Amino acid sequence: MVSCNIRCQPLLDVRQNSRASGPRAAHQVASATGTAERPRADVAPGQVADWPQLAQDLDSKSPLEIIDHALATFGDEVAIAFSGAEDIAVIEYAHLTGRPFRVFSLDTGRLDKETYELFDRVEKHYSIQIEYTFPDAQETMDLVRAKGMFSFYEDGHQECCRVRKVRPLRRQLKTLKAWITGQRRDQSPGTRASVAVVEVDPAFEGTSGGPGSLVKYNPLAGMTGKETWNFLRVMDVPVNELHSKGYVSIGCQPCTRPVLPNQHEREGRWWWEDAGGKECGLHSGNVSAGSAEQDGEAGAERDLWPEGKVQALSREELSSLASAESRKQATMVVLYAPWCQFSQAMEESYNELAEQYAARGSDVRIAKFQADTDRQFSTKTFGLQTFPTLVMLPRSTSGYIKYPSERRDVETLDLWIKSVAGR
């Protein structure tokens, strides 16, 4: 277990003296010890608490309170996953609780020099030792010998991430009862919009093994990027030097690049791939309750957008629109799967978009097509790779335009439609 015995104070003293600011900053905590009735950590997590209810109870709490709950509940059997980017905020909050805490990091062997330098500075700043986890040497060697150093540019990042990140993470988590991540809902509106502040991990297993054996805390889920950076600046903590060079979301060196003004932060990751698939597998619970290495089509019981202004298109209607040389109106279509949480996450915003266009009398139609029922058609016609995929069928022209961004909020979708449809 790693302790933070240099700068720590008891939690109540920290609250009185914290200089942090912002709506979720440390000094606003009222009672970190009274957030919820804590389950016993010596019993399987799925049996000791109503975790969905606890998630609701903690959702309005500060990150400090949420992390304090995790550390008080699980002690040295919970650890912080640190990737070298904004996860430093999680470490700082853990430090502010005054409790001992553990930190682990996945060293994929492909990280930037600046990331390794940050690891060293963090260890010295908090007087801790990060527990490094590495990919299996033989498995990594077999992959590189068979496919080369940069196979992910040709066949997608999933295989490399599975070898260098997912499987090492799986081994690490098997030694824990809970883990703490730095996920935020605004990091990727298409894939992380519904991240809970605490949940029974649907994808990975803990010490006791089996479903429900691991709890996952996401204490920054409700924070925005602006709030997080305000906290980091005020607390004057070490940050990755790559942030000053235009990098926002930081991963492995070959798969990360700076983002341009007004680009979403996740667009700097795996930029050569379709925007909808940018989850490396570490948080595959965001996608489904199934395996981290399967997309689990055993589906939801209800369809998406069953009512409202989003128009359902049959295959025949969509095929006719796709092949038309000229169209009477522009049509925005989401190719979705009702079981896919990426698709579920955009249900509210897409429905609101359709209502706005209907209210203003626009001739742009907002539509949907359940593409998992006919993937071959969707792939051949629209290049479907992941769910959801958004395409525009412009008015008075042939072909289609694929929506390239991970941002699926109403404002961004509206701006994009206006830029390509002129309405």
Active site residues: 280
Query: For 34, what's the count of Cα atoms within 13 Å in the CB-facing half-sphere?
Result: 4
Buried b / exposed e across 378-413, counting CB within 10 Å, b at 16+? beebbebebbbbbbbbbbeeeebbebebbbbbbebb
Query: For 174, what's the count of Cα atoms within 13 Å in the CB-facing half-sphere?
Result: 9
d(CA 98, CA 86): 20
Q: Please, are residues 358 and 309 in contact by the beta-carbon 8 Å criterion? A: yes
Tokens representing 2 are 């790693």
C-alpha to C-alpha distances, 86 to 2, 35, 37, 183, 281, nearest whole angstrom: 20, 25, 29, 9, 19
Q: Which residues contact 330 (CB under 8 A, 6 or more apart)?
A: 363, 364, 365, 392, 393, 394, 395, 417, 421, 423
d(CA 350, CA 366): 8
Q: Please, are residues 90 and 231 in contact by the beta-carbon 8 Å criterion? A: no
Strand pairing of 311-312 and 215-217? unpaired
Please give the single-letter amino acid code of residue 35: T
Cis status of the peptide bond prior to 100, with omega within 30 of 0? no
